[in-house]
Amino acid sequence: MSVPGSRQPEPQLNFRGAVDLSALKARATATPPASTAPHPAAASPGPGSTDGGAAPETGRIDLDEATFGAVVQRSATVPVVVLLWASYSPESQRLRDELGAVVGSYGGRLLYAAADVDAFPQLAEAFGVQAVPTAVAILKGQPIPLFQGAAAEQQSRQLFDELLRVAEANGVTGTVGGEPAPAQEPELPPLHQEAFDAIDRGDFAAAEEAYRRALADHPADREAKAGLAQVQLMARVAGIDQPAAEQARSAAAAAPDDLAAQLAVADLDVVGGHVEDGFSRLVAFISRSSGEEREAARVRLLELFEVIGAADPRVSAARAQLARALF
């Protein structure tokens, strides 16, 4: 995922998100209330408008706990661009409105939502937001980091174009207006579906068992292997609040050779979207350790590679670092 800088490479998006949105979704209502109507600030017609009023594709959903569940559900049919902003940041307020025009120019192929981090701090915490403005996407219920800071229009368009390519590859081809209809999702294998259902219930142990049975039947099942790593990570970080996370980081900083402390913070790094930090932490531990602890750190790092996905360039870079640390 690309981050603004002086020179940007071609944006790359990873469909596998590192954030679990299920707890937030469960607290949200199934249908959006009247507050999901386009915000007045974004109601002027733009590209794709069909009349003099606010077109759906140029409107903005103000995201909060009441609207979040409905927006996540919409991401199954149309990609959602979410801007996390704050009233104390003039830059983020300006980008909130400017980004609406950019999203609107896609003719309804993207849905735009904005979340005030003061009004919805749980969302900012879930995404590990360090500063505003921060933009993320939601696709089929999975979060995808986009950028932090006031991105230039060209950069945001490159990222949105890539987001649409990822969406199409995953069968999400709908529009805000509902056309065309999204491609029919293939039916999941029974044990995969069992694992998904267990995750929806918050039963990570049952999900892990389902994936293990899937791997016992088909050892080469890459999706089951990745799913197992993901659900194990979700189980390890479940229930860790901000104070506990800060305490874990302090413990890891005070004891760099404590295996449990480094593993715990690496998990938090990956879940919070700081993937390179989590990888580097474990590679550094491996380089200065030996025996069983070194092997335990190596195995955990490989599991985190599965969570992020082998095609992700951060995984390729970390694999090279791991090889140097081992040999």
Tens of pLDDT, residue by residue over 4-30, are 333 333 344 443 433 445 445 444 433
Contact 265, 281 (CB under 8 A): yes
Domain 22-169: which topology?
A: Glutaredoxin (3.40.30)
CA separation, residue 26 to residues 69, 72, 201, 291 (Å)? 7, 11, 10, 43
pLDDT digits (tens, 9 = 90+) for 74-92: 998 999 999 999 988 888 8
CA distance 29 to 41: 25
Q: Quick one: average pLDDT of 150-159?
A: 87
Is the pLDDT at 140 greater than 90, yes or no?
no
pLDDT of residue 53: 31
Lowest mean pLDDT among 5-19, 248-262, 290-304: 5-19
pLDDT digits (tens, 9 = 90+) for 37-77: 333 233 333 333 333 333 333 468 988 877 888 888 899 89
Q: Quick one: average pLDDT of 103-107?
A: 91
Mean pLDDT of the residues in the chain: 80
Assigned token pair, 232: 């194990």
pLDDT of residue 114: 93
pLDDT of residue 178: 60
pLDDT higher for 323 or 3?
323
Assigned token pair, 175: 């529009």
Is the pLDDT at 259 greater than 90, yes or no?
yes
Q: Which of 238, 241, 245, 242 is nearest to 201 (CA)?
A: 238
Q: Quick one: average pLDDT of 242-263?
A: 94
Contacts (Cβ under 8 Å, ≥6 apart) of 322: 283, 286, 298, 301
Is the pLDDT at 283 greater than 80, yes or no?
yes
pLDDT of residue 250: 96
Give the pLDDT band (50/70/90) at residue 118: confident
Q: b/e for 106-143, b at 16 or more Cβ within 10 A?
A: bbbbbbbbbbbbeebeebbebbbbeebbbbbbbbbebb
Assigned token pair, 205: 């142990």
Q: Where are the chain's structural domains?
A: 22-169, 190-326
pLDDT of residue 29: 38
Q: 3-class DSSP state for residue 151? A: coil
CA 233 to chain centre: 14
Alpha helices in the chain (DSSP H): 22-27, 65-74, 90-104, 121-127, 153-169, 190-201, 204-217, 222-237, 242-254, 259-271, 275-288, 291-308, 313-326
pLDDT of residue 231: 93
